[in-house]
Amino acid sequence: MGGVIKVRYAPFMLHQNMEKTSLFISFFSEMNYFYISFYFYSLASFIVCPVERRIEDLYLSIRSLPRGTLIVSFSILSSLVLSLEFLFLMDCPLSLDLLTYSFVLVLLSTLLSAIVVSLLARADNRNPLLNLRRSLYLSIYSNAVIFILWAISGNQFTRSLFSISLESAYSFSIASPILIRLIVISTLLSINPLLQFIGASINSFTLLILGFSLLHSESSLLTGLIISLLLQIFLYIIFKSFVSYNIEGVENLELMKGFLFEWAENVPTYIEEKLSQLSQPEKIEVSYILFQGENGKMKGGVIIPSLHPGPFRNVGSS
């Protein structure tokens, strides 16, 4: 279709809800660094795939975890490495029976903690944010934290430097992921705090059985674990006191939960409800472009927003 179209650019006043969460939105807009690694990952596929397929694959790679079989493989590998580290730093003989026993217990701890967290998520109105695959990924992350801290605290040099026993170092290491797990679970699940703590600590209590078997010092291990648990709870209270705060009656972590619902599951209703509680009627000045035919009849218009939602779903800026 041909014809002459006049373009007119002018401001106007639009009555709408204006959220008072510019700081929160700007936080999302600063997350572009997250995408840099994915640009290199997608470069090869950009050369051989159609444009639509390239963009779709890039979207999926940004907001999804590895495949379930790959996560299970990582779980087995992380359990094997962690069990080897336990035996090595405890000066245990690397016999096949002992290695198998240690590996089975660590793998059981990894899988059991993931299953418990996913069941808690199902009890929370079938919350999809912590399904079994994501819960298993959280368990792998917990194993990595234990591996690093046990390597630091369990070696002879560190124990001699700080005059700590092997039992205390082990108890501290296996309790170390509780704080992170508790923050994740309490942020994403609206369940009883006691259930949150069970989901966060089941991994540590399962590994305590391994410590009982290898170190033969039940009282020292149990005392060390209780002290470590109390320390983790204390740090969690500090976290909630200083990091968690209310914005006009809405907790900031609830906004993060709503963002993750939209980002990971494409469910915008939760964050929309929270943002509606923060909004108030205002009149703001925006700009628009009108398209008219040569007879003066309106052909269409485009509103120009002051905030760009970003190139990847609703995150980013340009």
Residues 124 and 40 occupy one common structural domain:
no
Between these two residues, 194 and 48, which has the higher pLDDT value?
194
Of 247, 269, 291, the domain-final residue: 247
Q: What percent of the chain is modeled with pLDDT above 70?
A: 75
Do the domain assignments include residue 318?
no
Residues 90 and 134 occupy one common structural domain:
yes
In which band, very low, low, confident or very high, does the pLDDT at 145 lie, cut at 50, 70 and 90? very high
Dihedral of the alpha carbons of 309, 315, 316, 318, in degrees to the nearest 10: -20
Lowest mean pLDDT among 25-34, 172-181, 183-192, 301-310: 25-34
**What is the pairing mode between strands 279-293 and 298-304?**
antiparallel
Do the domain assignments include residue 278?
yes
Residues 260 and 283 occupy one common structural domain:
yes
In which band, very low, low, confident or very high, does the pLDDT at 238 lie, cut at 50, 70 and 90? confident
Do the domain assignments include residue 22?
yes
Residues 87 and 165 occupy one common structural domain:
yes
CA–centroid distance for 259 within its chain: 11
Residues 292 and 162 occupy one common structural domain:
no
Do the domain assignments include residue 317?
no
Is it the case that residue 317 has pLDDT exceeding 50? no
- HSE value, Cβ hemisphere, 13 Å, CA-based, for 84: 6
Residues 253 and 241 occupy one common structural domain:
no
Residues 71 and 214 occupy one common structural domain:
yes
Predicted pLDDT at 243: 76
Between these two residues, 249 and 300, which has the higher pLDDT value?
300
Dihedral of the alpha carbons of 295, 297, 300, 306, in degrees to the nearest 10: 90
Print the domain residue range for 289.
5-61+249-304
Residues 170 and 208 occupy one common structural domain:
yes
Predicted pLDDT at 259: 84
Residues 194 and 45 occupy one common structural domain:
no
Read off φ and ψ for residue 65, nearest 5 degrees: -85, 170
- HSE value, Cβ hemisphere, 13 Å, CA-based, for 298: 5
Residues 200 and 291 occupy one common structural domain:
no
Residues 99 and 235 occupy one common structural domain:
yes
Residues 137 and 38 occupy one common structural domain:
no
Q: d(Cα 257, Cα 167) in Å, to the nearest integer?
A: 38
Is it the case that residue 11 has pLDDT exceeding 50? no
Q: Which residues contact 176 (CB under 8 A, 6 or more apart)?
A: 145, 146, 149, 228, 232
